Every structure is written in C-alpha cells, then in structure tokens.
Structure 1
C-alpha cells in the first residue's frame, strides 16, 4: 500500500472538501442487518484518507482507529478529528497496521482496497480482527456508465490522465470480492444515487483523484480547459448531473 500512498500528496485539501460523502442512513442499516453492527464495536478504518469512512461509524457511536500511510492525508485526518476522543489516527498500512492481535470487531475500507497488496492485507486483517469479526468494503461516487455525462467524463479522464495505465488493472479486485471470503459469509449491495455538481465542486472532486494532474504540473492548464469545456457542455442551471452509486460489501472469514 505504501508504494501508492504518495499519489495523494498535495491532494488532501481537495479530498477533504470535495470527495463524495457516505450517507449513514444508506450504509449503517445494511451493516446492522448483515453483520450485527452495534455502537460498542471498535472499527479500524484502513487507508483512512481524511477520515470519511470513520465519520460514518462515529455517527453510529463507534470508536474508530484510522490507519493511513500518507503523512499529509493523515495530518488532515488528525486535524479534522482533533476534538473527538473516540477517533484515533495512526500511521500504518493495510499490510502492517500496527494494531494488536484480535483488537477490533470490524475493519472498514473505503475507496482504498485497490491500493493494497490484497493477499498481505487479508493476512493482517485476520490477525487484527476478533473472532467472527467483519470486513466492510465501501465506496461511493460517480458511475462510469449510465448518463452521457458519466461516459464523457470517463473519456476525458482516460484521454487527459492516462489512468488506464495503472489504475484500471488495480480495480479488478472489486470484481472478485466474494472470493476473498471463500467459505465464510459475504453480502453485497449497490445503492443508486445522483451527483449534482457546480463548477467548483466538479473541479475540486476531480483534482482529488490520484490520477488528476497537480496545478503545478505542465499538463494542468490544458486539463483544466478540457474539464471546463466538459462542464459548460453539460451543465444545466449551473450544475452537472451524474449517476452515482454506493457500493457496499461485507465479509466474514471462514473459521
């Protein structure tokens, strides 16, 4: 995981402000149904970024331990949660969390699994989880198909960032999540939604992506011009609308 963590250096501010938020009323009822989630559980948020998954579980009353390898993202997470006595932020990775054996009831991963050495991370998750503990794998954001706005945004990112060269192969793990818990228990649900973004929101969300060029890069001016052209093409009443989704999975390892 640490080999990829530098991809988010310089992006913490946009990430914290503009990334899509998880909705507790969407996620928590399913985790309670599937896993028996209660407020008494301790949840380890692995690859925590600025802490959005942790915020979801704090809304349920859980103690959260955020594990994040990128120093800038970790500092932002710590700053945002400095006044929360039930939210701890630690340096670590999915493969080496630094957590004690059998110390948490749930491991949560949001928009980060594809950065992990998955097999090494699963070994670590088994070590850290209490008996019959759960792994929740969550993501929310725009879909890459559906509305024309979604399709054209994907084309823009492919053309201007070369994301296919490294990111798309990593995303293949999401097509085999059930196999990570072979012989155990596994649940999955897709909850559809919608994003309606003003220009500043679209720009900030896009810049928070690992493959988007930094404002200091030579490629940025052309990229921003193309992004603005996309916005002007599709905006209605000052906003671009995209189909979105909350993807939810929960797994329990075989005993």
Structure 2
C-alpha cells in the first residue's frame, strides 16, 4: 500500500509548536487511573510523540514511554527535553512500523496525531504491540470555535486565510468518524474544557504553529497575520485573549 507521507507537515514549525501549543490537563491521567488501571508501572507507546507535549504528562507520572516520531525537527526537541530520563526512549519510526516488540505495551497514546495516520496498517500495528488487555487512548485538544466571538473569528481566519484548513480531518470530520475508520470497538469518552491565555505575540505564534498556516513566502501570509492581529486587538482584555479548547480523550480496548 502507498502511504501519504505527512511527516514533513511541521517542518520549520517545530519550535513554534513546542513553544505555543497547549499542554494537556492532569485530569486525563486521573481518569485513566480511576477507570483503566493506569499507573507508574504502565508501559506506554506514543504514536506521533511530536515535540513531547503529551510525553511530558506521561513522564511526570513516572511511566515507561516509547515515543514514536518520524519528523526529525520535532523529535529533536523532545529528545533534548527528556534526554536525562532513563524512562524515555525516542524512536525514529512510523505509526505502521514502530519497531517495538510484540505484546509489550500497556497503553498506546495518540495525542493530537491520529488524523495524520488513520489507516488500517496503524491499527494493526497497535494490536501487534499491545498486551492482551492493552488500551488505545486517543487525545485531542479541539479548538472550541463556538464558545466565543473571538474563537469564531479564529475559525474564519483558518477557513479564509490558511492554505488547506478544510482538508484537515481533525478540524472538519467528527471524532467518531475518524475512529470508526480504524476501530469497530466501542469507546469511552472523557472531556474537559481547557484554554490558553495568550498575548498578541503568543497568539500569532499559536496560529503559525498549525500545519495549515501559510509560510512567509505564501501570498496568504500577510493577510493571515494581519487578521490574527486584528482579532486580538478587537477582543483583548488587559493585553491578553482566551484561546478556548475542549480536551477530549477516547479509550478503546482493541
């Protein structure tokens, strides 16, 4: 099968991603502890570890973590952050060929990443590496465009001034449909409202960290930046705006 290589989608954006993207709430871990036996003894594989945003949450809870990330720029940032931790292993590999040993993983995590590799081969690789009672946890920080006029304006900027926003699954296809492409199993959902408090420069960095933001040499770049700045000026209070999310986790036994 021919795979669409999306590993370079964040090339040149990894630093902005690490600096301006939101973290993940501790409540996710509490939910997994209470409902699914997650503990410091859990062995975890993160498919699409990126710059380590979610990896940090796992390592904070003293888990063994194997972070799979094919993008060299993003992987290097995570490796630099966690290089002193023996519980962390960085792997240059893909979601459908992780190089992990068979039936060695308690939890497979995909944080802000499944939409890039939602294919049957990825699902088969998850089944291969998971222990018999292992779980898959899919996590997304989903922008909550309906919660404020500012967020509605952000949505409009993405639609009108980005390069391929409407083609991105996570933004335009319901979670359940993405999951159904891979897993016939029922899942349990956990969600919590979250937000970032951003200055003008931080908002611009957050916007430019998206895979669909126009690069500087693109004709849409200047308008993308100016519209983002206009929105900030219109909605800021005390020099800051609230960028709103719903953080959602889906847990499956596959």
- TM-score, with structure 1 as normaliser: 0.91
Superposition map of 1:25-64 within 5 A: 26-64=27-65
Q: Deviations over 1:212-241 (max 9, x none)?
A: 122354432232112111111111110112
Query: Any gaps of 5 or more consecutive residues in structure 2?
Result: none
Name the count of aligned residue pairs: 251
Aligned to 1:94: 95
Q: Does 1:112 align with 2:130?
A: no
Aligned to 1:6: 8
SS at match of 1:6: coil
In the alignment, the residues of structure 1 paired with residue 46 and residue 174 of structure 2 have an alpha-carbon distance, to the nearest angstrom, of 19
In the alignment, the residues of structure 1 paired with residue 69 and residue 7 of structure 2 have an alpha-carbon distance, to the nearest angstrom, of 9
Question: Which of 10, 19, 44 pairs up with 1:17?
Answer: 19
Aligned to 1:236: 237
Contact 1:142 1:195 (8 Å CA) reproduced: no
How far residue 173 of structure 1 moved from its aligned partner, in angstroms, is 6.0
* Higher helix proportion (structure 1 or 2): 1
Q: Does 1:202 align with 2:206?
A: no
In the alignment, the residues of structure 1 paired with residue 7 and residue 179 of structure 2 have an alpha-carbon distance, to the nearest angstrom, of 26
Query: Any gaps of 5 or more consecutive residues in structure 1?
Result: none
Q: Does 1:76 align with 2:77?
A: yes
SS at match of 2:12: coil
Aligned to 2:146: 145
Contact 2:118 2:178 (8 Å CA) reproduced: no
Relative distance call for 1:199 and 1:141 in structure 2 (3 A) is farther
In the alignment, the residues of structure 1 paired with residue 70 and residue 153 of structure 2 have an alpha-carbon distance, to the nearest angstrom, of 33
Aligned to 2:251: 250
SS at match of 2:86: coil
In the alignment, the residues of structure 1 paired with residue 190 and residue 178 of structure 2 have an alpha-carbon distance, to the nearest angstrom, of 12
Contact 2:107 2:134 (8 Å CA) reproduced: yes
In the alignment, the residues of structure 2 paired with residue 170 and residue 144 of structure 1 have an alpha-carbon distance, to the nearest angstrom, of 10
Contact 2:45 2:66 (8 Å CA) reproduced: yes
Relative distance call for 1:159 and 1:177 in structure 2 (3 A) is closer
Contact 1:12 1:73 (8 Å CA) reproduced: yes
Aligned to 1:219: 220
